[in-house]
Structure 1
Amino acid sequence: KHKQHGVNVQLLADPVGRLVWASPALPGAVHDMSAARTVGLIDALTSAGGTIRTPFKRHRHRPGLSRSQRDVNRAHARIRAIGERAVATLKSWKVLTKLRCCPHRATAIVQAILVLQLIEEGRYSG
């Protein structure tokens, strides 16, 4: 439709919202959960004792969400905002706005940006 390649990159952020890890780029048509499964992110998180959480969704034929469900969604949004900060950091690199290549080449570019970002923040360990 857009006649351009899109990519899907999964990120991990620390509790402050700084980039920690970036997955290899996958085609943009790949769903986020499928991408997380493909790169082994879900298995790594669950084996370390973590959980994958999704917000409650209101269905068309049911009444609105309960108060507890809205509270859970609000807490989920606060956690998600930290990850979105990491995504914004990655997107601030202008080279990604003009990126029109296959996912394989995009992987090298995203990994290089991650290293440069860690150097810029003084967190690169070699």
Structure 2
Amino acid sequence: MRDSLKQLGFGIARRPRGEPVLVDGFLAPCWDWKAAEQLFSAKHRRTGHNIQVMSDLRGRLRAVGRPLPGARHDSHACTASGMETTVGRHPGLGDKGCQGCGLLTLHKKPLHRPLTVVEKDCNRAHSAIRSAVERCIGHLKNWKVLAEDYRGPLDRFPENFDTTVQLELLRTWAPS
């Protein structure tokens, strides 16, 4: 079934050229295996896989990166999961964790001065636009396999994750 879903061609190929994309990451929790210490995310204080997600401005899922260990930072995960090449030369917006990945990110507070009014307004507008990718992640987390601790064999997680993503793409697909 998974292969037949992939043949339908959902995802990044259906995105119009030049349309901006939104990128963000989340932790898909899994059971704590003693043999897989790299899955522990100190930021979230739990084990899981770092998943990078790309959506359009309407919050529809467009692509996902390869699952990586939860101990990886978002900037590394964006590059290592293949999301940076998937975005390509299209305009993309990311959060502060994606700095250095070729995406437009928020202004960081510089040393010895507060953010200017213009920088604060830019950050506010940036966050308002990026709320769509947060909604997209929320829809992905509605699938039980991504919301609760994954307890299956670790080598099967990518296959289960891929099937879940294809089902979400099928659920949100609307013919034009």
Instruction: Please report the TM-score for the alignment, with normalisation by the length of structure 2.
Output: 0.59
- Compare relative contact order (CA 8 Å, sep 6+) and give the higher one, 1 or 2: 1
2:41 aligns with: none
Please identify which structure carries the higher strand content.
Answer: 2
- CA-based RMSD of the aligned residues comes to 2.5
Q: Which runs of 5+ in 1 are unaligned?
A: none
- Taking the TM superposition and a 5 Å limit, the aligned residue runs for 1:53-72 are 53-59=104-110, 62-72=112-122
Answer yes or no: is 1:22 the counterpart of 2:22: no
User: Once superposed, which parts of structure 1, at least 4 consecutive aligned residues long, lie more than 3 Å away?
Assistant: 100-104
1:73 aligns with: 123
Give the Cα–Cα distance (whole angstroms) in 1 for the partners of residues 121 and 152 of structure 2.
41
**1:22, 1:110 within 8 Å by CA — same for their partners in 2?**
no
Q: Which runs of 5+ in 2 are unaligned?
A: 1-30, 33-46, 93-102
Give the Cα–Cα distance (whole angstroms) in 2 for the partners of residues 103 and 57 of structure 1.
37
1:95/1:27 CA distance change after superposition, 3 Å: same
Report the number of matched residues: 121
Please identify which structure carries the higher helix content.
Answer: 1
Answer yes or no: is 1:31 the counterpart of 2:73: yes
Shift, 1:88, TM fit: 0.6
Shift, 1:101, TM fit: 5.3
Give the Cα–Cα distance (whole angstroms) in 2 for the partners of residues 102 and 33 of structure 1.
27
Instruction: Please report the TM-score for the alignment, with normalisation by the length of structure 1.
Output: 0.79
- Residues 23-60 of structure 1: CA deviation (Å, up to 9, x unaligned): 11000011111011113322443x4243502212225x
* Identical aligned residues as a percent: 31
